[in-house]
Chain A
Amino acid sequence: MVLCLVDDDPVSLEALTFARRFGEVDALVFGDVDVGGYVSRARRIVHERLDEYAPLAWAQAIVELEPELVVAPGTDRGHEVLAHVAARLGAALAANVVEAAIEGDVLNLTRQRWGGSLLEEARLRGSPKLLSVAPHVVEAEPAGLETTVEDFTPALGDEHFRVRVARREEPEAGTVRLDTARVVVGGGRGVGSKEGFDVLEELANLLGGAVGGSRVVTNLGWRPHSDQVGQTGARIAPDLYIACGVSGAIQHIVGCKGAKRILVINKDRNAPIVARADWAVIGDLHEIVPAIVAELRSNGS
Chain B
Amino acid sequence: MNVLVCVKRVPETGARITLTSDAQAIDTTLLGFTISPHEECAVEEALRIVEQHGGSTTVLTLGPAAAIEQLQNAMAMGIGEAVLLETDGSDWNAESTAAAIADAVRTRACDLLLFGNEAADTGDYQVGVRVAHALGLPCTTGIKGISIAGGTLTARREAGGGWEIFELPLPAVVSVKEGINLPRYASIQGRLRAKKATIERIAPEPLASALETVRLAVPPEQETHVEILRSGAEAARVLRDLGLV
Report which A residues bind B (CB closer than 8 A): 8-9, 53, 55, 76, 79-80, 82-84, 86-88, 90-96, 110, 112-126, 129, 132, 162-171, 175, 177-178, 182-183, 206-208, 218-219, 221, 224-226, 228, 231-233, 239-240, 249-250, 257, 261-265, 272, 274-282, 287-292, 294-296, 299-300
Contacts and interface: CB of A to CB of B under 8 A. Distances in A.
B206 to A, nearest CB: 14
Given A87-B130, A168-B163, A113 B235 contact: no
B219 interface: yes
B176 to A, nearest CB: 11
Given A83-B129, A277-B226, A291 B231 contact: yes
Given A83-B126, A83-B129, A120 B213 contact: yes
B227 interface: yes
Size class of the contact patch on chain B: 35 or more
Contacts of B177: 232
B196 interface: no
Given A82-B126, A178-B161, 8 more contacts: A76-B141, A76-B159, A79-B118, A162-B138, A225-B144, A225-B178, A278-B224, A281-B234
Nearest to A226: B158
Nearest to B128: A83
Contact of A80 (B14, B120, B142, B233): B142
Interface in B167-182: 167-168, 177-179, 182
Top 3 A-B residue pairs of the complex, sorted by shortest distance between their CB atoms: A291-B232, A225-B179, A171-B161
A121 B217 contact: yes
29 contacts: A79-B141, A84-B129, A93-B94, A93-B211, A113-B121, A114-B123, A117-B13, A117-B17, A118-B26, A118-B216, A122-B211, A126-B210, A163-B139, A165-B166, A167-B165, A168-B159, A177-B160, A219-B182, A228-B179, A232-B179, A239-B242, A249-B15, A263-B235, A263-B238, A275-B221, A275-B223, A276-B223, A281-B232, A296-B239
B212 interface: yes
A118 B219 contact: yes
A138 to B, nearest CB: 15
A221 B182 contact: yes
Interface of B: 13-17, 26, 37-38, 93-95, 98, 118, 120-126, 128-130, 132-134, 138-142, 144, 154, 157-168, 177-179, 182, 209-219, 221-240, 242, 244-245
B184 to A, nearest CB: 13
A283 to B, nearest CB: 8
Contact of A169 (B140, B162, B224): B162
A76 B142 CA distance: 6
Contacts of A281: 228-232, 234-235
Contacts of A92: 93-95, 209-211
Given A114-B121, A232-B38, A296-B245, A272 B15 contact: yes
B126 A279 contact: no
A261 B244 CA distance: 12
Contacts of B228: 279-282
Nearest to B38: A232
